[in-house]
Amino acid sequence: QNELFVFPNKKTGFDPSEIDLLDPANKALISPNLFRVQKIATKDYFFRHHLETSVDNLSGTKNFFWKREGLKGIDGIVKVRTNHLGDIVGVGEY
């Protein structure tokens, strides 16, 4: 838990594998697509947007502030590690 992942976004055309995630100039592109693991269930993963502080899973905020994904939904995500300032310092490390 509390691990961070960058999700692709088909609506905006954002693909984390096509940009330099370590470049601080790309923070504005990455931020809307950066989610942390909230919890892991038997077949589902729950992610919360990295800036979101509430724990309510309201249906109107799905995919903006939280995501519920199965195994197919996590295809294309990239794990990242941040420092205390929020800069990405590691990509794809497990």
Q: What is the pLDDT along the chain (94 residues), one digit of tens a residue?
A: 468 999 998 889 999 999 999 999 999 999 999 988 887 777 777 788 787 766 665 555 555 454 655 666 677 889 998 888 888 898 987 5
What is the domain count for the chain? 1
Tokens linked to 80: 């990242």
Find the radius of gyration of the CA atoms of the chain: 13
- Which residue is associated with the tokens 């502030």? 65
Residue 48 has a pLDDT of 84
> Which one-letter DSSP state was computed for residue 19?
S
Residue 55 half-sphere exposure, CB side, CA atoms within 13 Å?
Answer: 3
Residue 33's SS3 state is helix
Task: Name the residue range of residue 27's domain.
Answer: 4-91
